[in-house]
Amino acid sequence: MSLNPEVRIFEDPNEATVHMASLISEAHLHEARAAMATETPAIPPKKKRKSRKRPLSNPVVTRRRERQRETQRSESETHLQELRDTLTAVQVPEATDGTVSAWAQRHLLTDVRMKTARPMLFNANLSAERIAIQKCHRCCAEEAAIRCLDCVPLDMEFLCATCDIEAHKRNIFHDREAVFNGSLEPIPPTTAVVDENGQPQFCEQICQLPVPTPRSICECSDDVTVTPWKHISVVTINGRYNFCLLRKSCPSCSAEWTPEVKDLLLYRYWPASTSCQTLYKYDVFTSFEEDT
């Protein structure tokens, strides 16, 4: 004979009495709660509002506030009218739902401002292209033929042809412009301006890549010679230019030095191949990282 698992067996009679009493009390409690819920549903009591006495208003202050509100209302209406006039002056494309988005309104306002400022910008650009005749800021004798924007902080903005070659023998990546008949014309680093019979003329020059050479390559006391060695292409943020690498040689012991890959990397030139026929300046990679 198996016992029912729901039937609880007490070994002590007192425990059975206590258990039966708890069951009876829980049953009475459930019946009482059900009866109370049927008779009076639970409704939270309403909070009583405390009466606040309004202070007596000052008629002078009240009139002043009303005048301020009227002034603000009239100013806002004026601004709204100006905005409506601006919007009506431009043809607004009709949207599918009959409304214009905030982005479209800002775009139209920007177009209106740019159309208004375009004549001023055009005249300012034309006036900036006209340069008066200047003397060379370095020798203060010859007439300037070159304007260098990178030499502006050094107060060497305008240079003659001779001073330009001396100043930019190493600073080959400076932003230079040629001065012809009162106007400016951008020129690459490989272009120089020479004076022929009082007239400035363009000519091509060999630019050496600015990589420092060692002071000594051998133990000889004779002076070493520096000559152009290898023609390469250098790609910078401003374009592609043809330069040459230097070669340092000793006439006594025939010792030679030419720049290696580690020398190029030290001065921020990245080789495109193992032959170093094309080099990339690091500013190209920096601009690419900023764009991405």
- Give the mean pLDDT per block of 10 residues along the chain (292 residues): 50 63 67 65 55 58 76 72 61 53 85 89 83 86 90 89 88 88 84 78 86 84 82 90 89 87 91 91 82 60
Q: Domain for residue 263, yes or no?
A: yes
Looking at residue 3, its pLDDT comes to 45
Give the predicted TM-score (pTM) of the model: 0.53
Task: Collapse the DSSP code of 224 into the 3-class scheme (helix H, G, I; strand E, B; otherwise coil) and give the result.
Answer: coil
Q: Domain for residue 127, yes or no?
A: no
Q: For residue 184, what are the contacts with CB-CB under 8 A and spacing of at least 6?
A: 129, 131, 147, 177, 178
Measured CA to CA, the distance from residue 189 to residue 208 in angstroms comes to: 10
Q: Domain for residue 156, yes or no?
A: yes
If one counts the domains in the chain, the total is 2
Same domain assignment for residues 195 and 248:
no
Q: For residue 81, what are the contacts with CB-CB under 8 A and spacing of at least 6?
A: none
Reported as a single tens digit per residue, the pLDDT across 231-290 is 999 999 888 999 999 888 888 888 889 999 999 999 999 999 888 899 999 988 887 776
Q: For residue 3, what are the contacts with CB-CB under 8 A and spacing of at least 6?
A: 9
End-to-end CA distance of the chain: 83
Task: Residue 170: give the domain boundaries.
Answer: 146-204
Q: Domain for residue 168, yes or no?
A: yes
Which residues face 247 on adjacent strands?
A: 227
